[in-house]
Structure 1
Amino acid sequence: MPAAFRIFAILLLAYFLSYFFRATNAVISPDLRRDLGLTPAELGLMTSLFYLTFAIAQLPLGALLDRFGPRFVHPALMLLGAMGALIFASAQDFLTLSVGRALLGIGFAAALMGALKAFSLWFPAHRYASISSLYVALGASGAIAASSPLAWLKEQIGWRGVFEWGALVIVLVALVVALGVRNAPKGMALPQSTQAGNASLIWRSSQFWRMGWLNFMVGGGFLAWQTLWGGDFLFKVRGLGSLEVGSVLFTFSLAALLGFLLCGPLADRWGLPRVLLSASLGFTLGPLLLALWPQMPALGLYLTYGLMGFTGAFNILSLAQARLVFPTELTGRAVTAINFMGFMGVFLLQWGMGVVLGLSEYSTALLVWATLIALAIIGYLPLALGQRKSAL
């Protein structure tokens, strides 16, 4: 177990960086608008490219992790992320900025999936949900660092300086992962599937699609709001300054950290599907409240963002559910398939909201989003109501 927790800690460094870089645009979006003249649609598209390339990378990543493990696959991708950070820092136009953002997405594509693959071998199955939720909770502190601390840091060295120094940090952490992580405990080989067609079972499974669409809307929407539109809403609708926006986003991220910490133990106690359903229902209240009462008092604003952060964090349970539903030799492909759905959700919701905002206002975009979440929840109901805890 000491070796397992050492590997946990090393991989956590990379996941912290993944969360930090995906969330930066929520704070630096006014700087990007000012320095590069981005429109809302361009801002949404550029930001969402992190998630598009991240999602696309999941498709081959699952097979690579099942075949070779995370030790070298993960840091190799991180070097591409470091290159993306340097390109982003030097960008003078929308296209260059987009290329840098896209490479950052590829660079961190294995930050969570590589860890989940490793944990499936280093930790017992009955602790998988709790270990996974703890990992995500601690890694989510990267989003906290990308709120008020980032707002202060960019005032000191500029947003370009943040990404220049960030590139060096990415390289150093990639080196630590390559040197300090083992794919499996000593004497244990990576399990290999004995039937080439087994992976197709995932995409043919009705359970997968019920979990996947919920993760698309809740998990994808959670990150789309945390990493861009949640900040933009505060800038444009509420007229807050950078430090005030950072403070509200800090509340969102702190609540998310608490949600990540509690969701695993709650799922162990009450049953994973039912806990995930309850959290998804709670999350839906966030966009509804913001759409119907955009000028709520400051306390209400903090509470609403806290609600969205806390309940949205429970989306990580869909990954744990995939690990428990599908066989161990398909863990990499199962969790990356669910993750693909979530990050395609971030891409399409982040971009789509920018398109809607170019035609209408925030209230309309938020009501559309809430309706889509409700439809995904309806699709998930058979899993939550008909599947006993012991079946997982």
Structure 2
Amino acid sequence: MAARVFFLFTLGYFLSYFYRSANAVLSKDLSQELGLGPAELGFMTSLFYLAFAAVQLPLGGLLDRVGPRVVTPSLLLVAALGSLVFALAPSFPVLALGRALIGVGMAAALMGSLKAFSLWFPQGYATVSTLLVGLGATGGLLAATPLALLKEALGWRGVFLLGAGVVVLVALLIHLGVRNAPPGVPWPRGGGGGGLREVLGNRRLLRVAFLGLAFGGSFLALQTLWAGAYAYALGLGAVAVGNLLFLYSGGAVLGFLVSGYLADRFGTPRVLVLSALLFALGLGLLLLRALVPAYALLGFFGAFNILTLTQARELVPPHLVGRGTTLVNLFAIGGTFLLQWGVGVVVGALGYGWAFGGLLGLLVLALALYWPLFRR
């Protein structure tokens, strides 16, 4: 049963990663058919993260009270509706609505998994959780060459129509195939109200959340836009840029897979601080234009930001795991939205050096605030 729980929740997160990455391949088709400019395309694509972040806190309460067996597939049905709306969209506003619905619907794919795993795999939680993320991240690989080939066969609208059906099927499998907790393990109950106030008043959790914003937000802002744009700005051709991004993304998959094992073996705070420092080194090498080592460090060690979510589970009681992890994820995904936009503003005004230097400074500040947890 535990293996089935792991497989089905991983399948849901795989779909989430696929959908967040798909527009990179389809951007040209979307722009040509619907007449989208760069600003419209960028705003519509970022709505996934904005909608995803907006539902995190209420989602955490639902996961703690109702459980992922109901909440995750219910929201996946919203994502299926969004995929359908996106596929049939005749204009930019409808396309944007579809993208936002997909973001809302995929918001529980990771958080629901982490809530379930906290009960199903309490001993190796960090290892199992990061294995989930590593395997799920291969959805980004599906959203590359395989998606391009599928788009040639079905058209971009056909891809999203097919995707809607697949999401409905996975939602049904999760609802029928998993349990909130293992047999004989009681569902955690809180001692009363104030759960959200208790989470927001947890200073240690807020320190982790801010590290998630700086570390995870920088990692995703670079991976999903600025790592490629910077390489193009340096005059590299498409193949060279693609190779660097493959190095970044491939390193990320490996980093996701090993980060949990290292955290379980050496302690989450120790591994988080060391990986964040090596990610900072990657930002420094980026400023020096040492691109190959920079992209390798940024991808591999940037993936360790996922440990902020596993540490959240260690800082709250069992009945608040959903709210604790979604708070940290709110900071990380919200940080992605803000930093992706903020880097663009700074690049336009002052250049890449100031923008990447700003990311480096923000990460150093986050590590300074996190330091008391490391010392404990």
Fold conserved (TM > 0.5)?
yes
**Per-residue Cα deviation, 1:115-172 (whole angstroms, up to 9, x for no partner):** 1111111123x31111111111111111222234334444554443332322221111
Does the aligned pair in 2 maintain the 1:54–1:106 contact within 8 Å?
yes
Q: Which ranges of 4 or more aligned residues in structure 1 deviate by more than 6 Å?
A: none
- Counterparts in 2 of 1:143 and 1:84: CA distance versus 1, 3 Å: same
- Counterparts in 2 of 1:333 and 1:247: CA distance versus 1, 3 Å: same
Q: Give the secondary structure class of the aligned counterpart of 2:55.
A: helix
2:161 paired with 1:164: yes
- Counterparts in 2 of 1:41 and 1:208: CA distance versus 1, 3 Å: farther
Matches within 5 A, 1:131-280: 131-235=128-232, 237-238=234-235, 240-241=237-238, 245-280=241-276
**Partner in structure 2 of residue 333 of structure 1:** 323
Matches within 5 A, 1:343-382: 343-359=333-349, 361-382=351-372
- Counterparts in 2 of 1:166 and 1:81: CA distance versus 1, 3 Å: same
- Counterparts in 2 of 1:97 and 1:258: CA distance versus 1, 3 Å: same
**Partner in structure 2 of residue 390 of structure 1:** none
Q: Distance in 1 between matches of 2:45 and 2:73?
A: 23
Does the aligned pair in 2 maintain the 1:80–1:106 contact within 8 Å?
yes
Q: Structure 1 vs Structure 2: percent identity of aligned residues?
A: 52
Q: Distance in 2 between matches of 1:95 and 1:74?
A: 27
Q: Distance in 1 between matches of 2:198 and 2:251?
A: 36
2:280 paired with 1:290: no
**Partner in structure 1 of residue 26 of structure 2:** 28
- Counterparts in 2 of 1:238 and 1:26: CA distance versus 1, 3 Å: farther
Q: Give the secondary structure class of the aligned counterpart of 1:365.
A: helix
Which stretch has the larger CA shift, 160-169 or 88-97? 88-97
> Which letter does structure 2 place at the counterpart of 1:196?
G
Q: Distance in 2 between matches of 1:282 and 1:224?
A: 17
**Partner in structure 2 of residue 109 of structure 1:** 107
> Which letter does structure 1 place at the counterpart of 2:323?
R
Please give the TM-score of this superposition, normalised by the length of structure 2. Answer: 0.91
Q: Distance in 1 between matches of 2:37 and 2:121?
A: 47
Match among 16, 19, 30 for residue 17 of structure 2: 19
Q: Distance in 1 between matches of 2:169 and 2:305?
A: 30
Matches within 5 A, 1:32-181: 32-124=30-122, 126-181=123-178
Tell me which of the two structures has the higher relative contact order, counting C-alpha pairs closer than 8 angstroms and 6 or more residues apart.
Answer: 1
Q: Give the secondary structure class of the aligned counterpart of 1:196.
A: coil
**Following TM superposition, by how much is the alpha carbon of 1:247 offset from its aligned partner in structure 2, in angstroms?**
4.4
Question: RMSD between aligned alpha carbons?
Answer: 2.3
2:307 paired with 1:317: yes
Which stretch has the larger CA shift, 222-231 or 15-24? 222-231
Q: Distance in 1 between matches of 2:164 and 2:263?
A: 37
Q: Give the secondary structure class of the aligned counterpart of 1:382.
A: helix
Q: Give the secondary structure class of the aligned counterpart of 1:111.
A: helix
**Following TM superposition, by how much is the alpha carbon of 1:113 offset from its aligned partner in structure 2, in angstroms?**
0.8
Q: Give the secondary structure class of the aligned counterpart of 2:359.
A: helix
Q: Distance in 1 between matches of 2:181 and 2:310?
A: 19
Does the aligned pair in 2 maintain the 1:279–1:314 contact within 8 Å?
yes
**Following TM superposition, by how much is the alpha carbon of 1:240 offset from its aligned partner in structure 2, in angstroms?**
3.5
Q: Distance in 2 between matches of 1:236 and 1:86?
A: 36
**Following TM superposition, by how much is the alpha carbon of 1:338 offset from its aligned partner in structure 2, in angstroms?**
0.8
Please give the TM-score of this superposition, normalised by the length of structure 1. Answer: 0.88
2:295 paired with 1:305: yes
Number of equivalent positions: 376
**Following TM superposition, by how much is the alpha carbon of 1:235 offset from its aligned partner in structure 2, in angstroms?**
5.0
- Counterparts in 2 of 1:369 and 1:4: CA distance versus 1, 3 Å: same
> Which letter does structure 1 place at the counterpart of 2:295?
Y
Does the aligned pair in 2 maintain the 1:23–1:143 contact within 8 Å?
yes
Does the aligned pair in 2 maintain the 1:191–1:328 contact within 8 Å?
yes
- Counterparts in 2 of 1:305 and 1:39: CA distance versus 1, 3 Å: farther
**Following TM superposition, by how much is the alpha carbon of 1:371 offset from its aligned partner in structure 2, in angstroms?**
2.3
- Counterparts in 2 of 1:80 and 1:50: CA distance versus 1, 3 Å: same
